[in-house]
Amino acid sequence: MGLDIRIPIGAMFGTLGLLLTGYGVFADPVLNTRPLGVNVNLWWGLVLLAFGAGMLHFGRKRSA
């Protein structure tokens, strides 16, 4: 197969991670911390970003 699925997965989670992290940093803190007082958008955004980067890294390493 000409397409390594890890590349689109990495790209999608990278994009989603950026969106969530950005929202977590820039949006009104009241919006982000509901209901347990943790900025869950920021933290989960960073997790997705790391996962996306990992997928991209391994996908490209094998295709190269």
Interface contacts to other proteins, rule CB under 8 A: 1-3, 5, 8-9, 11-13, 15-16, 19-20, 23-24, 27, 31-36, 40-41, 44-45, 48, 51
CB of residue 28 to other proteins, shortest distance in Å: 10
Secondary structure class of 14 (helix, strand, coil)? helix
Closest separation between CB of residue 47 and other proteins, Å?
A: 8
Q: Alpha-carbon torsion 21, 23, 28, 32, what sign?
A: negative
**Dihedral over Cα of 23, 25, 31, 33: its sign:** positive
Look up residue 29 and give its two tokens: 């803190």
- Shortest separation between residue 9's beta carbon and other proteins, angstroms: 6
